[in-house]
Amino acid sequence: MSGPWRRRFAAAAGVAAAALVLVPTAVRWLTNPADQRLVDLDVYRTAGIALMRGEPLYDFLTEPPQLLPFTYPPFSALLSAPLAWMPWPVAQVVMILLIYAALAVSVRYAFRPLLARAGDWSPLVLGVLVALLLCPMPLRDQVRFGQVDLFLVALCVVDCATPRARWPRGLLVGLAMAIKLVPGVFLIYFLVTRRREAAVNALFTAAGATLFTFALLPQDSLRFWFGALLEGDRVGSNYVTANQAVRGFLLRMYWPDPVTVAVWLVVVALLAWTGFRYARRLSLLGASGLLSPANSWSAEQAGIAVTGLVAVIVSPVSWIHHLAWIVLVVGALAGDGRNLRRCSAAAGVWLFYVLTIPWWGTGHIQAAKPLWEQALGRIMQSSYGLGAVTLLFVLGSWLVSEMWRETPTDQRDESRTDASTGTYAP
């Protein structure tokens, strides 16, 4: 089979492989009971409807039984306006297709070394990877709820990792920040990785979008920034299993509130410091020229993934679907697929988040259970968040060691001499 025909065949096979998972997943959630179907998309679309009708954005609730409020900045409501023009069934299909597109973009960036190694067969490999990466619970929940997390991942990874961007670096991160506050962690990432211009661009883009929205929606903007943003109960109970932030784990210990707050502040400060230190190490190592091209790319992806994981870990509330950064974690670990230990670690992370371990844990926390079983149940209940904490160290320490192991000895010796300056020290 000649090159062009082989690539066409690989593209068709890749689409078919992806469809084997993507289509049944879409059908499953599109045929879910009407009051359980893409409930977060309903929030965005209702915000668009409220905007078009001139109604307050932060006073409405979606239809029973969900009764969900709008919790995003008002700029997000502007982007949701097109959804209001679509019939509800059409909006659901459009949203799922956009989620799949964002997943494909994220996978393409995360697994670039492996796809490059696949050559003409890369479209087939991409299709298989997209299918596999929809399986972990944080990713399949994107379709279940109609969530925007993969859009934010795609915006951030494209902005940070595109070798020669045709836009001012930081622009896409700024847009992501205007949509949702969490990507603001990438301002710190830009600063610690010596990309001050990108940080400035991101900040000005987010500020510009916010001020533009203030001009269009002054009352809603005031209501959000000086009211709704500070109402913690708008996002629902912080104690539930779905909250996988460190604070969620501590809240489920049911300690006195002052103790919980004090422990949380100390822990998140330590984890944030460690995470950004690792992100800096990985990004600078990737840019140093001391690694192979494949490992340089993986190091950059790992730095972006660590930054995203930090955002999930330190936030007061982080739902399971916020862990969409797992796409980048698995891709960074897999690299170009030549290192068996790294591929095994990538497969292990993938499987860990496919299994619904937090929900298994809820079956072991009843008062009638022995104390040791209740303690184990609490750990299982928070396993996705605790797994994210573990991944900071896996990417920032173990993966760095593996990449050094793959570096030729003479190059590795030179890098360790340079590392003594403290620039890329592993």
pLDDT score recorded for residue 414: 43
C-alpha pair distances (Å), 266 with each of 86, 110, 117, 244, 321: 47, 32, 44, 18, 25
Residue 129: inside a domain: no
Q: Closest by alpha carbon to 146, among 19, 37, 69? A: 37
Q: How far, in Å, CA of 328 to CA of 26, rounded? A: 23
Residue 25 covered by a domain: no
pLDDT digits (tens, 9 = 90+) for 241-261: 999 999 999 999 989 999 999
Mean pLDDT to the nearest integer, 48-70: 91
Specify the pLDDT at position 417.
31
Most confident by average pLDDT, 62-76, 97-111, 221-235, 358-372: 97-111
pLDDT of residue 4: 79
Per the domain annotation, does 409 fall within a domain?
yes
Question: Would you state the pLDDT for residue 367?
Answer: 80
- What single-letter DSSP state applies at residue 406? T
Q: Is the pLDDT reported for residue 65 higher than 50?
A: yes
Peptide bond into 74 cis (omega under 30): no
Q: 312 or 421: whose pLDDT is higher?
A: 312
**Which of 154, 213, 150 shows the shortest CA–CA distance to 178?**
213
Distance separating alpha carbons of residues 332 and 337, to the nearest angstrom: 10
Average pLDDT of the residues of the chain: 92
d(CA 289, CA 1): 37
Residue 300's pLDDT band, with cuts at 50, 70 and 90, is very high
Q: Is residue 56 part of a domain?
A: no
Residue 173 domain flag: no
358 contacts: CB under 8 Å, gap ≥ 6: 241, 242, 244, 320, 380, 381, 382, 383, 384
What pLDDT, in 10s, does the model give residues 120-130? 999 999 999 99
Q: Which helix (H) or strand (E) holds 371?
A: helix 371-381
The DSSP secondary-structure symbol of 32 reads S
Poorest-pLDDT segment among 108-117, 221-230, 287-296: 221-230
User: Hey, CA dihedral for 175, 177, 180, 182, is it positive or negative?
Assistant: positive
Average pLDDT over residues 60-72: 89
Nearest to 392 by CA among 282, 278, 295: 278
Average pLDDT over residues 193-202: 96
Give the pLDDT of residue 391. 98
In a domain, 356, yes or no: yes
Confidence grade of residue 224 (pLDDT, cut at 50, 70, 90): very high
Q: Among residues of the chain, what percentage have pLDDT more than 90?
A: 81
Tell me the pTM. 0.93
Q: For 380-425, write each residue's pLDDT tens digit.
A: 999 999 999 999 999 999 999 999 998 876 665 444 433 333 333 3
Question: What is the percent of the chain where pLDDT is above 70?
Answer: 94
Is 373 among the domain residues? Answer: yes
Q: Let me know if residue 217 belongs to a domain.
A: no
Q: Which residues contact 172 (CB under 8 A, 6 or more apart)?
A: 155, 156, 158, 159
Report the C-alpha gap between 333 and 396 in whole angstroms: 11
- What is the per-residue burial (b if ≥16 Cβ within 10 Å, else e) of 112-124? bbbbebbebbbbb
Domains in the chain, number: 1
Residue 72 pLDDT exceeds 60: yes
The pLDDT assigned to 349 comes to 98
42 closest CA partner among 144, 137, 124 = 144
Q: Rounded to whole angstroms, how far apart are CA atoms 65 and 56?
A: 21
Instruction: Reply yes or no on whether the pLDDT at 232 is more than 80.
Output: no
Nearest alpha-carbon partner for 103 in 151, 55, 35, 40? 151
Task: Provide the domain limits for residue 345.
Answer: 236-426
Mean pLDDT of 295-315: 97
